[in-house]
Structure formats: structure tokens, C-alpha cells
Amino acid sequence: MLQLHDVTKLYGSGAAQVRALDGVSLSVDAGSLVAVMGPSGSGKSTLLTIAGSLEEPTSGDVVVGGSPLASMSVDERARLRRRSIGFVFQDFNLLPGLTAAENVALPLELDGTRPRAARQMAIEALEGLGLDTEADRFPDQLSGGERQRVAIARAVVGDRRLLLADEPSGALDSANGEAVMRLVLAACRRGVAAVVVTHDAQLASWADRVVFIRDGRIVDGTVPPPSPEALLQAAPEP
């Protein structure tokens, strides 16, 4: 669903030049959840914005759903975001003044879906996440956890298949953070490809695969874990 090939991103020029990403390659298949883990300043957020077409790489290719971003115009990228990519940010996800359902329906409406149909799809997405009772509430009437969950509903509404989340539970307590990650995982189990960038190992451990990023380079990655039963056999004697 998402392929990054040798992506490099430079900011600034001359002595002040900063290499935010340095030859990053990453592939995320449909239905899988990949966590990108690294300390702040490691380039993980840049990776996400480049993967989501919000920024252009200095070099390298990004392919989303089979379409290379390099050949797209600004408007085509906006259209790609409307149709295929859902973002979840750390703490600011919902537009004030729009209800939860309207927020979820917005990308569909921006893409030309009629309001009635868009609302129907939005309600379905919210129901899928157990948020149907919150549909007509405004962002300031929702708790932080509810807001993040609505954001996830928006990220997967319609036939969007790439969910990009930047510290999606960073501003939440652990229970709400866990709930958010469960939703992301559930979306993946239904076929969405998801990338979560975080510095938090507990969040990252929800992923099928964790890649480690340091100074703009992917330095390591976990292998898919063996079945959890192995843990119990290996448990130490008390």
C-alpha cells in the first residue's frame, strides 16, 4: 500500500542544512500496522508527512496505492489525501465548529460526495468505532480520547486505506492510548495499512512490525513476534 524508496529530505541550505531523512526505504502492506520508533528529532514525523504527501522528498520515491507521488501536482496530491490517506495527529485533529460526524464526512464532501451520502458513511465509520452516540457533538464537547477516536474514524472513512498517525495517543492517558491503538489495529485487521510514529515503546509494541529510526536513517526493525504462548513457557520462576 505504501512504499518509500531511498527517500532523503533536506531542510535549509549551506551550513544550516539538516538531513531529516537519509535514504529511508519502507514498505507497508495492506492490513499491516508498522510502528516507526525513534526519539524526537530523529525524522520520524518527516517520514510521515512525506509518506502522506504533505511534503515532498528531496530525493527518492514515494508510492501510495501504486501511484508515485512524484508525478502528481499539488491538486492531485490533495485529491489523493481526500481519497486514500487518513491522518491522525497528536492533539489537534478535529475542526472546531463541525460536529464529529461532519468532521468525519469532511474528506468525503471535499471529494464531491453529496452531503447526505457522506453523512451516512461517516455515521457508519463512527458506529464501527463505537462512537455513534457522539456523532452530533462538537469537538469541545468530546473528551480527548473521544476526539482521537473520531479522528481515526475520519482517517478510515470511505475507502481510505492508508492511515498515518503521529503520536496518536501522545496526549492521552494509558487507558485511552490503548483504546486508540486498539482501533488502529482493528482498522488494520480490516485491510487498512497503517503507520504509527512514536517514541513510546508501549504504543509501538501494538504494531506488527517496529522499525527504529535514528538521525533520519532506519537502523533496525523487529521480526514479526512468535506466538505469545512462547512467553508463558519462558516465564521465569518467581
Partner 1 sequence: MSVRHALLGLLSEGPTYGHQLRQEFEERTGDVWPLNVGQVYTTLQRLERDGLVESDDGASEGPQRAFRITAAGRDELERWLHTPPDLSAPPRDELVIKVLVAISLPGVDVRRLLQVHRRRVVELMQQWTRLKEDEGELDLAFALVVDAELFRLDSVVRWLDAAEGRLKRASVSEVGTDRSSGPRLRRRLVVR
Partner 2 sequence: MTVPSGPVPVAARPNHGGAAARRAVRRWSWRLFRLEWRQQLLVLALVVVAVAATTVGATVAVGAQVPADTGFGTAHDMATLSGTPGHVAAEEAALRHRVGRVDMITNEQQRVPGSTDTYDLRAQDPGGPFGSPMLALRSGRFPAHPGEVALTPGLAAELHLHPGDTWHDGTATRRVVGLVVNPQNLVDAFALVVPGSVTTPTSVTVLFDAPLSVVGALTVPVSVVGRGVYANVLNPETIVLALATLGMLLIALVAVGGFTVLAQRRLRSLGLLASLGASRRHVAMVVRANGAAVGVAGAVGGFVLGLAAWLAARPMVENSAHHVIGVWALPWAVVVPAMALAVVATWAASARPARAVARVPVVDALAGRPAPPAPVHRTALPGLVTLVIAFFLFGASGAAAGQGGGMPEMVLGLVVLVAAIVLLAPLCLSVLGAVARRAPVGMRLALRDLARYRSRAGAALAAITLGVLIATIVAVAAAARYGNSLDYVGPNLATNQLVLSPAPVGVPAPDATKGGPGSPLGLPGPPPGPTPAQVRAEDAAMATSAHQLATQFGSGTTALELDGSSATLVHTGPGRTFTGTVYVATPQLLQAFGIAPSTIDPAADVLTSRPGLSGVSGLRLVAGEDSPIAGPGPIGAPPGSDGHPSCSPPSCLAHPVIQEVAALPTGTAAPNVVLTEHAVRILHLHPTAAAWLVQAPQPLTAAQVSAARLAAGAAGLQVETKNDEPTGATIIDGATIFGIVLALGVLAMAVGLLRSETAGDLRTLAATGASTRSRRVIVATTAGALAAVGAVVGTAAGYLAVAGWLRSNRLDGLSALTSVPLANLLVILVGLPVLAAAGGWLVAGRRPSGLARPVTA
Residues that bind partner 2 (CB under 8 A): 1, 30, 49, 52, 54-55, 64-67, 74-76, 78-85, 87, 89, 91-98, 102, 105-107, 109-115, 118, 125, 128, 139-140, 147, 154, 156-157, 159, 161, 187, 190-193
Distance CA 196, CA 166 (A): 6
Q: Report in angstroms how near the CB of residue 14 gets to partner 1 at its nearest.
A: 13
2 phi-psi bin (left φ>0, alpha ψ -120 to 50, beta other): beta
Binding-site partner at residue 201 among partner 2, partner 1, none, CB < 5 to 8 Å by type:
partner 1
Among 56, 66, 94, 75, smallest CA distance to 2 is for: 66
DSSP letter (8 states) at residue 169: T
Closer to partner 2 by CB, 138 or 236: give it.
138
Which listed range, 40-48, 70-78, 86-94, 136-144, lies at the site for partner 1 (CB under 8 A)?
40-48
Say which DSSP state 88 is in. E
Of the candidate residues 6, 127, 136, 220, the single one contacting partner 1 (CB under 8 A):
220
- 212 makes contact with partner 1 (CB under 8 A): yes
Q: Pattern 8-27, binding to partner 1, x per CB under 8 A?
A: ---xx---x-xxx-------
Buried b (16+ CB within 10 A) or exposed e, 130-147: ebbebbeebbeebeebbb
User: Looking at beta carbons only, is 74 or 235 nearer to partner 1?
Assistant: 235
Which of the choices partner 2, partner 1, none does residue 125 contact, using the CB cut-off of 5 to 8 A by kind? partner 2
Which of helix, strand or coil describes residue 99? coil
Give which of 186, 112, 165 is closest to 2, Cα–Cα.
165
Least Å distance between CB 225 and partner 1? 4
Residue 157 to residue 150: CA distance in whole angstroms: 10
